[in-house]
Structure 1
Amino acid sequence: MPATLIVSISGVSEPTLPASIEFTGELDARLAPVSWLLPPRPREGRHRADAPLIRWLRSRLPVGDALVMHGFDHAVVPAGRSWPYRRAEFAALPSHEATLRLIAATRTLDDLGLSSEVFAPPRWLASSGTLTALRRRGFRVCADSVGIRRLNGSESLLRGRVLTPGGLTAGVRAVDGPAPESTEAWRHRGLLLLASRTARRGGLVRIDVDATELHRASTRQVLLDAIDAALDAGATPATYRLPLPTPLAA
């Protein structure tokens, strides 16, 4: 199987939209679509159907980007949950609770003129009950900390951890061996190495971009360098909606 590159943008909001649009232009030049991780209810306030962010997302979907339902309500902590489940809304939910949240999330997106059959839980942590609820609700894909799960038909798992400028998610080190003093430059080198190495091995390269960090020129550049490294190593751009691209889709 050839290498695949999926770039997602999370943390997008009205204040971070201008930087996200600028970064998307860089990805468009590389023919790399974006998977937008949108919480139906963000941590602060609520989305409006006529807001610039929602209008922007509607304009991006017809050109090949993907909308990913990113949990439901980021403003609350699930009752009775303790660390490490704080802010990981779907990490420990039974199926009936997850189903109720998915129903509410779907209705919220409907009110915004949006819809999605793709789900990514906060902090990429999904309980087995959440996976059951997603299947019953007709979701096609769940992107979690392990990889990308195709939920309909013959189910399968495309393994691949999420890469960020801070390394791998879930506290995994970006490179093997003892780490030098934790510096931004070292973390960035780890991202480049992992993106390039995974692509050369024909793996799944998942790079998540935190929109709140895009105002930093150094972060933007290392993300673009990692994306270029994966593309140069032969990775085919894809989205979470279509995680197995065909040659024609490229």
Structure 2
Amino acid sequence: MSERHLLLVLHDVAPETWADYRNFVAVVDALGNVPITWLVVPDFHHRQPLTAHLELRRKLDARLARGDELVLHGYHHCDEAPPPCNPKDWLMRRVYTREGEFYRLDQAQARQRLERGMEVFRHCGWPLHGFVAPAWLMSEGTRQALRETPLRYTSDLHHLYRLPDFQAIGAPGLTWSARSHWRRGLSRLVCSGLAARHRQAPLLRLGLHPVDMRHDFSRHYWVDLLVRLLTEGRRPLTKIGWLERQSAQAPGSGA
């Protein structure tokens, strides 16, 4: 059987969501060397700029020292575009999510926010390799803007993409919508089915959100699934760790 890998990804990391993750991360750390990919929002909903929050910056410094990765995850993580003007927009921006910050941006707007986010990482002294749009929603303008940056990858729910050419790599993702009781129940059914379907996939991503941590039902699911996947032999890596490993093993790499 070929080697299989696992990416544990925590979304929406910001001063106000850190407490949601604290206990879960302690459980993960107790499992041993399980690196985490943290999707960091520089100014979550305009409420608390990360640059002004020294406590969280120090905690993320410590996570980097452990071998984790920090990824730029939007800038404000809220959709401030004009109201939806057609059924598709309404479905994506009012039913699927209200957080699709980069869904309606043109190239110049997307480039400006990307540059502001990259500047926050430079200010904090953090290495930056990747960008993930809130709710994985990217406009064509965002895709064009990403091609102009030094960033090495982005992703959606089903793929990783090497930049700047958006080379697609199959990377099935498991995630929950945990905002209500019925959503949590349905998410468990869907995720369990997807986990079984992708059991032999070379790469599997677990995409967790702060709201998942606020309910025992969803939090315990993620812990149990992580333990099972590790027991089955999946090797945990960060996103950039996995991509660099693939590059090193590619023909002609000299590895």
TM-score, normalising length: structure 1? 0.79
Deviation at 1:183, TM superposition (A): 6.7
1:111 is the counterpart of 2:111: no
The DSSP-based 3-state class of the residue aligned with 1:102 is helix
Q: Which amino acid aligns with 1:197?
A: R
1:74 is paired with a residue whose SS is coil
Q: Does 1:12 align with 2:13?
A: yes
* Superposed displacement of residue 77, structure 1: 0.7
What 5-or-longer segments of structure 1 have no aligned partner? 168-180
Cα deviation for residue 156 of structure 1 reads 2.7
Q: Hey, what's the Cα distance between the residues in 2 that align with 1:237 and 1:196?
A: 18
Q: In the alignment, is the contact (CA less than 8 A) between 2:15 and 2:48 conserved in 1? A: no
- Report the RMSD for the aligned CA atoms in angstroms: 2.9
Higher helix share: 2
**Gap change, CA 1:106 and 1:187, over 3 Å in 2:** closer
Please say which of residues 140-149 and 13-22 is displaced more in the overlay.
Answer: 13-22
| CA–CA separation in structure 2 for the residues paired with 1:72 and 1:7 | 21
Deviation at residue 50 of structure 1 after TM alignment:
4.5
Matched residue type, 2:190:
G
C-alpha distance in 2 between matches for 1:220 and 1:61 = 24
> Which secondary structure state, in structure 1, belongs to the residue aligned with residue 239 of structure 2?
coil
Q: Is the 8 A contact 1:40 1:73 kept in 2?
A: yes
Q: Following TM superposition, by how much is the alpha carbon of 1:185 offset from its aligned partner in structure 2, in angstroms?
A: 4.4
Task: Calculate percent identity across the aligned residue pairs.
Answer: 26
Given the superposition, is the C-alpha separation of residues 62 and 183 from structure 1 closer, same or farther in structure 2, using an over 3 Å criterion? closer
Does the alignment pair 1:33 with 2:15? no
Assess, with a 3 A threshold, how the Cα gap between structure 1 residues 39 and 26 changes in structure 2: closer, same or farther: same
> How many pairs align?
233
Check 1:184–1:88 CA distance in 2 against 1; reply closer, same or farther (3 A cut).
closer
Residues 221, 122 of structure 1: alpha-carbon distance in 2 compared, 3 angstrom cutoff: same
1:208 alignment partner AA: G
| Correspondence for 1:201 | 200
**Cα distance in 2 for residues equivalent to 1:93 and 1:12:** 22
TM-score (norm 2): 0.78
Please say if residues 6 and 206 of structure 1, whose CA atoms lie closer than 8 Å, have aligned partners that are also in contact: yes
SS at the partner of 2:109? Answer: helix
Contact kept in structure 2, 1:49 and 1:112, CA below 8 Å: no
Q: CA deviation at 1:138?
A: 0.7
Map Cα deviations across residues 72-102 of structure 1 (whole Å, 9 max, x no partner): 1235513466532453122233323221211
Which of 107, 114, 119 is equivalent to 1:95? 107
Are 1:192 and 1:229, in contact at CA under 8 Å, matched by a contact in 2?
no
Contact 1:205–1:230 (Cα < 8 Å) also in 2: no
